[in-house]
Structures are given as C-alpha cells and as structure tokens.
C-alpha cells in the first residue's frame, strides 16, 4: 500500500465516522427529548447478551417499559426471543456488516417507536472491534465478556473496554470447569479503563444479577424513566 492509498483510506474512514457521529448526536437528542435511557450492549458472539436481556426483561418487567433493537448479520431469532420474553423488539440485519451504525438505529427507532420515559437497549452485532468505534447516540456502552473467552480479552481489544462504562463478566457458573482468573481479568480491564465498573454475573443461573439491576435502576431514576404500567 502506497502513501496515497493509505491517506485516501484514512480520509474515507474519517468521513464515515464523522457522518455517523452527526447522526448519533441526533439520536442522542431524540432520546433525551423523550426521557429515554438508551444502552448499547456489546460483546463477542456467544457471550450471552440475549440471555442477559431475557433475564432483565423477566425481572424488571413491572419496573420499567423496555424496548429492544437487535443487531445481527442474519436471521430474526434474537428479536423473536425478546418478543417471547414480553418486550417490543425490532431486528436489524447488517448482512456482511459487523456493527450497527447510528443511521440504522435511527431508522429502527422510527419503526419501533418506543414510548417516552422508557428504556431502550440496543443489542449490537457480536464483535469486539467495530461496534466500539460507532457511537449510536446511547447514554452508555455496556460490554459483556464470557469466562470462556480468556481473561486477556481487555488487553487484546482495548478500545472496546475503554469505550464502555460497564463490564459484565458472564457465565461465572462455568469458572470451576475452566482455567480462568476472574480477578486477573478485572485487573486487565482496569489497566485499559480505570473507571470501568465491573460486575460478575451468570445469566443462566441468575447469580450476581442484582448489582446489574441496581445499576439500571440508578440510571433509570436519574433520568426520570417511568415505571411500567400495571
């Protein structure tokens, strides 16, 4: 690759991100104007995002109205799971794309029409690289990693863990069967992002979910999100 080609690629990437950031700010204003708390849920494939969402829906159904935007390359399987769990959901299929962008989320919001003073969770495409680069207009990025992935993931994919405000270490029920040092993983994550809030959970057994729910409640109360109707 010559210098001219490299410079062209850099400018193209900058233009793409600048256009995305503009739309993300519009999304952010849309959320804030309606009193909606929006979260961007990110992880590698199979870390347990959808299962965590199903638990959250079941346990907080009486506390908050929750809508979900699902991102995958193909199929509507996750959106169907979320609807069966009792929430409104819309699926975005990105084809060969490895992440959601702000324009996709904007279009999905027009169709989903989440109510004012509610919670919207965006489940991003499973990927530890690109989703961290694209602002969607969310209030917070939440990264999930599974104990099956290896404790050094925060060092290998630092931008993801640097961009997130919360990290959920999921599938802790499997630790007895693995060579995984959860404290070392947390140490690596804090080397990348000293302010990262870390929680240990199992979406399968529901162990450790109360701190996650309390974090959600705190953010919801701060924004004035209304309780779900009885």
> Is residue 85 one of the residues assigned to a domain?
yes
For residues 17 and 41, give the distance between their C-alpha atoms in angstroms, rounded to a whole number.
20
The per-residue pLDDT for 16 is: 74
Residues 6+ apart with CB under 8 A from 101: 20, 23, 134, 136
State if pTM tops 0.85: yes
For residues 166 and 133, give the distance between their C-alpha atoms in angstroms, rounded to a whole number.
16
> Is residue 229 one of the residues assigned to a domain?
no
> Is residue 228 one of the residues assigned to a domain?
no
Q: Say yes or no to pLDDT of 6 above 70.
A: no
Structural domain that includes position 175: 3-223
> Is residue 43 one of the residues assigned to a domain?
yes
> Is residue 165 one of the residues assigned to a domain?
yes
> Is residue 24 one of the residues assigned to a domain?
yes
Q: Say yes or no to pLDDT of 49 above 90.
A: yes
Tell me, what CATH number does 74's domain have?
3.40.50.300
> Is residue 230 one of the residues assigned to a domain?
no
The per-residue pLDDT for 12 is: 43
Q: How many domains does the chain have?
A: 1
Average confidence (pLDDT) over 47-62: 96
pLDDT tens sequence across 145-179: 999 999 999 999 999 999 999 999 999 999 999 99
Which uninterrupted H or E stretch holds 120?
Answer: strand 119-123
């Amino acid at each position: 690759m010559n210098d001219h080609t490299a410079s062209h690629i850099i400018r193209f990437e900058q233009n793409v991100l600048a256009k995305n950031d503009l739309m993300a700010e519009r999304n952010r204003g849309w959320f804030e104007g309606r009193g909606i708390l929006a979260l961007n849920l990110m992880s590698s494939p199979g870390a347990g995002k959808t299962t965590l969402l199903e638990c959250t829906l079941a346990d907080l159904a009486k506390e908050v109205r929750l809508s979900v935007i699902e991102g995958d390359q193909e199929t509507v399987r996750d959106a169907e799971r979320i609807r069966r769990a009792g929430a409104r959901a819309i699926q975005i299929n990105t084809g060969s794309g490895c992440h959601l962008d702000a324009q996709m989320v904007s279009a999905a919001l027009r169709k989903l029409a989440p109510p004012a003073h509610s919670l919207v969770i965006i489940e991003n495409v499973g990927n530890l690289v690109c989703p961290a680069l694209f602002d969607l207009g969310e209030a917070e990025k939440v990264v999930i990693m599974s104990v099956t992935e290896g404790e050094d993931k925060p060092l290998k994919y630092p931008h993801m863990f640097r961009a997130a405000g919360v990290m959920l270490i999921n599938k802790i029920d499997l630790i007895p069967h693995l060579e995984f040092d959860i404290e070392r993983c947390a140490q690596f994550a804090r080397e990348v992002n000293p302010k990262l809030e870390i929680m240990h959970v199992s979406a399968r057994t529901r162990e450790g979910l109360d701190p996650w729910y309390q974090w959600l409640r705190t953010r919801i109360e701060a924004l004035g999100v209304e309780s779900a109707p009885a």
